[in-house]
Amino acid sequence: MISFEPIGTIHTPYKEAAPYQPIANDKGEFYIELLPHYEAGLKELLRFRYIYVLFYIDRLKEAPKMRFTPPWLTNKELGLFATRTPSRPNPIGLSIVKLINVIDNKIYVSGLDVYEGTPLLDIKPYIKDLDDKPDANYGWLDDVDNKEHFMLHIKGIPHDY
């Protein structure tokens, strides 16, 4: 058994429903409030354009299923670890967001895909050349009909059709 304690709280406008992935330009304020005794650990963080936010997915409604068929891919069964579903054996969420500002113990960021009040586990810098993989691929997402449209949904980009 491994035990962690929240090091802060994530604040978002999402009280009833949260998107599946970060929506960079979503309306409302997104900030992370670090416990005050960790504030000194933020020095030089603002130098980075992007950060990883690790959080505890604390509002799970369903037990994890090892295999499932997502609604947008009716003919395909996916393994849990090939997806980003929040229902995981260890519900640790991982989001990459743009850093906007750091003021005292508050970290202002672009849209974060979590509910208001989500417990923060860790923050790490996203480092050029180390974390961006230009040759990454889409995996099973290649099988989705109209993948480009689907990616707009995944990335939360508004579109008219």
Distances in Å between the Cα of 115 and the Cα atoms of 17, 144, 146, 150 are: 7, 28, 29, 23
| Distances in whole angstroms, Cα of residue 152 to Cα of each of 9, 55, 69, 84, 142 | 28, 24, 20, 16, 14
Residue 24 or residue 116: which is nearer to a second copy going by CB? 24
Give the up-direction half-sphere exposure of residue 82: CA atoms within 13 A in the CB hemisphere: 14
Q: Which is nearer to a second copy, 1 or 17 (CB)?
A: 1
Give the shortest CB-145-to-a second copy separation in angstroms.
16
* 74 interacts with a second copy by CB under 8 A: no
Residues within the interface to a second copy (CB under 8 A): 1-7, 21, 38-45, 47-50, 52, 54, 56, 66-67, 76-84, 88-90, 92, 94, 96, 119, 121-142, 151, 154-155
